Structure 1
Amino acid sequence: MTAMLFRDDPYRRDADGRVKALTPEGGIVLESTIFYPKGGGQPGDSGWVEWDGNRLSIATAVKGEGDDIVLVPAEPRPLPHAGTYLRQTLDWDRRHRHMRVHTALHLLSVVVPFGVTGGAISAAHGRLDFNMPDAPQDREELEAALNAYIDLDARVTDGWITEAELDAAPELVKTMAVAPPRGSGDIRLVRIGEEQDWIDLQPCGGTHVARTGEIGHVRLGKIEKKGRMNRRMYLHLES
């Protein structure tokens, strides 16, 4: 499997690496990586790798076979051979914006207490789909509540829970469309707030900011009807 350096330190912008393998499609599998692979509504990271005077742009990262992570080059160019040592570097501004939006969406799921049926993240905005029949009429109040949570500058931390413990606390799972992965050991939980006084606690494999104040103020965008019982809400970073 590819060791996930982004999980231990989501603020790490570069790292040494060693090529484990190349995929038939021309992807690069490293033994360990700082690149987050596309999943859970969060895009794969972009950036570049450098070795022996060569530099190769990476368009995205995706999940490969088993627990491998595949870096996808932005253009067809000569690749480093298996066993090559290289330097990997993130497009940090893009990744950091993903972190800010992702944490903000967790807070949105607090101020809008309905089941989540889908979601997506970009560098400028994010959206969640909620299982609710009618659009909320108190948009300004929801936006104010969301920004109040951000202004608390609450800590964002992670921990782990067993599948049995999760089964005993089903209220932690807010996503109705995608269940937390099972069969590969413990499940990661992301907590906003303190251990005994948390604001949000849910299974999540993505990258997040360390404190909510780092998100900056956000605004709620349009609300779309996506079915009889489904409403899509957009959230935008203000800077």
Structure 2
Amino acid sequence: MPPPERRLTAIFCADVVGYSRLVGQDETGTLARLDQARAILQTAIAAQGGRVFNLAGDGLLAEFPSALGAVQAAIAAQDSLGVWAADQPEGQRMRLRIGVNLGDVVVSGADLLGDGVNVAARLQEVALPGGICLSGAVHDQVRGRIETGFADLGPRPMKNIAEPVRVYALRMGADAHRVESVTPQVAPVVADDGSLFGHFRRRLIGGVMLLALLLVINLMTDPRDLWVRWVALGLAIMLVMPMVRRLLSGRPLGARSK
């Protein structure tokens, strides 16, 4: 039995946001709008040399010979979909998410399978409504070649994908400022966050470093008289007193200092 045919290709995945809710509100109208949205997508895809290979459910999958073509099709599609949806009632407005990946796929007749397709599907789940998310492989191919800016969302674990995938979000129109809302925030380990606990951490680290230095000096000069213990006691009092005062005043310990 010959091995399956494989190829490297750019995968474009689009999906409707809140499709079940829309169908529940107005099944006939939602199905009609889905057909209209797909027509807009297919026009943008064809203009960049893409091929639609799956229309299951409320989604759409397409392949492109280049990552740049896939991203340009995604941008054109979201721009056109935004204009198309602008006049729809707010509660029934149809918006889509798009993910674009560059990866190895398995050819199965007219369909494509494999992690390359699965990652594109996971990327669209990360995107904001009306937005586009790219894998790191796509970003590497298109940076400097399109005018739209990027937000680096960092490596993301993805269901049924062995390794985390680095994700980039395109900054799209009026929603560009919202891209940062899905950026993972990593709290600094010892940074002063403005709260009393933040000040305590900073001062504790400084106090420990100072005590370590004084202990070395103490042991080198007169190890029989451990005078550094009195310095340690004084520093401990200085650290604890602000927290005691905060408790007596009734202010929460985690509140930011004014």
Q: TM-score, normalised by structure 2?
A: 0.23
Larger % of strand: which?
A: 1
Q: Which structure has the larger Rg over C-alpha atoms?
A: 2
> When you count helix as a share of all residues, which structure comes out higher?
2
